Amino acid sequence: QVHLVESGGGSVQPGGSLTLSCAVSAYTRCMGWFRQAPGKEREGVASMSSGGSTYYGEFVRGRFTISKDNSKNTLVLRMNSLKPEDTAMYYCAAKPYGGAWETLAFYEWWGQGTQVTVSS
């Protein structure tokens, strides 16, 4: 069993930045961030494999960076140049095996989410 607890969400103006953190009880083969806006499907934001490879959704376009802070057992998502369309609940997730990083069904463990609101 893997426990994930997100933090760092909040409200920010367009163009601003936020850093999300996910406290992890144990790293798995692949860990990622997903988001879900009201009325929309959950979508992949970014993921990182145990080997350090990173993957990003097309909409990220260089604005977000996923990383690990091993000293704190934390998965981090740094978000810059935020846009109103980035408004969503952001979830941390972990999966024990490989497979397409964006496929939600592969992820066995999920956090409760942290809300990000981008508005002027």
Banded pLDDT at 94 (limits 50, 70, 90): very high
In this predicted structure, the answer to whether residue 82 has a pLDDT above a threshold of 90 is yes
Banded pLDDT at 13 (limits 50, 70, 90): very high
Neighbours of 21 (CB within 10 A): 19
